[in-house]
Amino acid sequence: MASPEKLVGMANQIGKFFSAQPGGGAAGDIADHIRKFWDPRMRADILAHLEAGGTGLDPPVRAAIAQLKAGAGAH
């Protein structure tokens, strides 16, 4: 499984892509991408990383992971 540092890097890269898109909905788009394309174990690991303080997560990514956490039971 990927290290927290690797997951943070991947999530921040996704965040940079969606933050550059027009529309201003980066956090929702990031959360949607992670929900659709990340393995459930990767999602669980990035959620655990956020709960442990979220070191290294860019602000839109931090917001996206929080959205995932809030909606974890819905998907």
pTM: 0.89
d(CA 35, CA 74): 11
What does the angle CA 16 – CA 38 – CA 14 come to, to the nearest 5 degrees?
5
Question: Is residue 75 very low, low, confident or very high in pLDDT (cuts 50, 70, 90)?
Answer: very low
Question: Is residue 64 very low, low, confident or very high in pLDDT (cuts 50, 70, 90)?
Answer: very high
pLDDT, residue 24, reads 83
Residue range 19-37, pLDDT digits in tens: 999 888 899 999 999 999 9
pLDDT, residue 72, reads 64
Residue 73 class from Cβ within 10 Å (0-12 exposed, 13-18 middle, 19+ buried)?
exposed
Alpha helices in the chain (DSSP H): 4-19, 26-37, 40-51, 59-70
